[in-house]
Structure 1
Amino acid sequence: MEVTPKAIFLDMDGTILNHQNQVSIHTKEIIDELRNRGINVFIATGRAFEEIEGIVPPGFQVDGIVASNGMVGYAGHEVIFKHSLSRELVETVIKMARENKVYYELFPYGSPRITLKQDRDYVENEIRDPKPEGVGINEWSSRKDAIKEKINWADEIRGNEFSKFYFFARTKEQINHWKEKLELLKKEIDFTTSISTEYNVELMVANVNKATGIQQMLKHFNLSERETMAIGDSDNDLPMLRLVNYAVAMKNAPDSIKEVTDDVTEFTCDEDGVYHYLKSKLIL
């Protein structure tokens, strides 16, 4: 890295979040230090904006957040940009998910995620113990928490602003079958899908991803792509990693991610990899 970046974009799950879904105090401290030195630090996550406060340390601050895989961007609580799924797409996808018994969560803006009551039995059954061997503990814990207290089990869908769908399956065969169904639906209604593990898929507005969100955030802050660094670990980070000037993969990332980046952290997300990397590279 020849030039200190003016903007750093950090993924959450598998990057600044460890496998217990926590951001360490060391990560908060290094972000504070970088911001004090005039470097803009942003979050770029697949998670909804409303999820973030509950998984970061007290006092955690960044310059902006690109949430829901590029669907919405915030500077503080100011909305910089926002996209929304159409009501037609929402209703079509829920009907398809029910027919295929696919676990789903719909994320409205500004309110808890929704799953319809009529789908509760089969959705809860997907999260029955024991945990499937291949599913990561952080994803499994997030689903357990969702079932227990995060989902609004609704009689009907209300409102017209939705940031994304999240889908999960216990087996790769089931989620891959669902991905095939979504690809067929794309021929009728245009949208974008993204994956962060082998057991999930998320659905957003067409041509929206972390990279498009970052471009809008950079424009708001009068920054250029030449001045950017990003750190990530999974497939939904690929657009972001390909966009920025200097891309970094986590040690815990698969080889397919590491192959497209400029560097790899020495430590994993469970070893404060982002903290150690930023401290060694940028804090002289």
Structure 2
Amino acid sequence: MVTKPKAIFLDMDGTILNHYNKVSRLTKQIIDELRDKGIYVFIATGRAVDEINELVPAGFQVDGIISSNGMAGYDGEKVIFEHSLALELVEKIIEKAREHKVYYELFPYGADRIALKQDRIFIEQEIRNPKPESVGLNEWLSRQQAIKEEIDWKDQIEENKFSKFYFFARTKEHINRWKDELENIKQDIDFTTSISSDHNVEVMVADVNKATGIKEMLRYFNLSEEETLAIGDSNNDLPMFQFVDYAVAMKNASDQVKEIVDDVTEFTCDDDGVYHYLKSTIVAETIKNT
């Protein structure tokens, strides 16, 4: 394995975030320790960058953030790269989402996520209690929070730069039908889809994913593609896993994800799996070799 990587890329949901959508102080501690040893640590998440601050402990710092599954990259407040969905595609997808009555959140850059007022009834219906058994707790809590406080309900789309579309359905059958519809839309306008659970799908610019985001981040920091390590748990991490030198899946990842990686953590995201893995491998090896 890479005993002292030059750069580490960490997914959020199901990885450094527990199922209550919080990053622990132990995870912050290990990231600080790695950075003190000269190792670059980056977030590579499907979440929009504006979502991150409320999920991490005070003083949490990394070298850079890749957000929205590779759509944007940041060095602190500085924008390294940004891709944007075309307004034509956004409008077409909203029209089709309305026909299918599928929950959606549209993420403009620099503004709150939005949905249209005329779609509010069917969107809220998808988040009605009780929680479906197959929906992950972290995803369910995020949707309830979005409905309660975070979605800006609009009469019409006013922005023109968008980082991603997120879609959710309370049944797998519903979201699978929507995925099929997205494939139909792709025949007219190309784009990339990404999946992080059995109940969601996200839309980004064509040929954009976490791996393309990592390439741009490495270029910006003048780092080589060698001796890179990534930790994640779901399907939207697969491009990242295929790109880095050493890929690690969380214990709570699916068997499909675990089959393609180099290693698996001993503990889940709820038991500080990232902390224990990095402490027992990277940090321990670094100390041994000094």
Give TM class, smaller chain: over 0.9
Residue 283 of structure 1: aligned partner: 283
Residue 189 of structure 2: aligned partner: 189
Residue 168 of structure 1: aligned partner: 168
SS of the residue 2:92 aligns to: helix
Residue 240 of structure 1: aligned partner: 240
Query: 1:281 offset after TM fit, Å?
Result: 0.5
For residues 52 and 2 of structure 1, the distance between their equivalents in structure 2, rounded to whole angstroms, comes to 28
Please give the per-residue CA displacement for 1:103-151, whole angstroms capped at 9, x wherever unaligned.
Answer: 0000000110000000001100110001011000100000000000000
For residues 7 and 158 of structure 1, the distance between their equivalents in structure 2, rounded to whole angstroms, comes to 38
For residues 268 and 234 of structure 1, the distance between their equivalents in structure 2, rounded to whole angstroms, comes to 13
Please give the per-residue CA displacement for 1:80-110, whole angstroms capped at 9, x wherever unaligned.
Answer: 0000000000000000000110100000001
* Equivalent residue letter for 2:270: D
SS of the residue 1:283 aligns to: helix
Please give the per-residue CA displacement for 1:231-284, whole angstroms capped at 9, x wherever unaligned.
Answer: 000000000011000100000001111111111000000000000000000112
For residues 13 and 82 of structure 1, the distance between their equivalents in structure 2, rounded to whole angstroms, comes to 22
* 1:80 matches 2:80: yes
- Structure 2, unmatched stretches of 5+, are 285-290
* Equivalent residue letter for 1:128: R
Residue 210 of structure 2: aligned partner: 210
* Equivalent residue letter for 2:65: I
* 1:133 matches 2:133: yes
Residue 122 of structure 1: aligned partner: 122
Residue 19 of structure 2: aligned partner: 19
Residue 35 of structure 1: aligned partner: 35
For residues 92 and 184 of structure 1, the distance between their equivalents in structure 2, rounded to whole angstroms, comes to 12
* Equivalent residue letter for 1:91: E
Query: 1:3 offset after TM fit, Å?
Result: 3.9
Query: 1:193 offset after TM fit, Å?
Result: 0.2
SS of the residue 1:17 aligns to: coil
Query: 1:24 offset after TM fit, Å?
Result: 0.2
For residues 283 and 173 of structure 2, the distance between their equivalents in structure 1, rounded to whole angstroms, comes to 45
> After superposition, where does 1:265-280 map in structure 2 within 5 Å?
265-280=265-280
Residue 51 of structure 1: aligned partner: 51
Give me the identity figure in percent: 70
Q: What is the count of residue pairs matched by the alignment? A: 284
For residues 167 and 222 of structure 1, the distance between their equivalents in structure 2, rounded to whole angstroms, comes to 35
* 1:91 matches 2:91: yes
SS of the residue 2:192 aligns to: strand
> After superposition, where does 1:62-81 map in structure 2 within 5 Å?
62-81=62-81
Shift in alpha-carbon separation, 1:2–1:165, aligned structure 2, 3 A: closer
Residue 223 of structure 1: aligned partner: 223
The question of whether the paired residues in 1 share the 8 Å contact of 2:3 and 2:282 is answered with no
* Equivalent residue letter for 2:236: N
Q: RMSD value over aligned CA atoms?
A: 0.6
* Equivalent residue letter for 2:158: R
For residues 42 and 35 of structure 2, the distance between their equivalents in structure 1, rounded to whole angstroms, comes to 10
For residues 196 and 86 of structure 1, the distance between their equivalents in structure 2, rounded to whole angstroms, comes to 23
For residues 82 and 58 of structure 1, the distance between their equivalents in structure 2, rounded to whole angstroms, comes to 27
For residues 234 and 153 of structure 1, the distance between their equivalents in structure 2, rounded to whole angstroms, comes to 30
Residue 151 of structure 2: aligned partner: 151
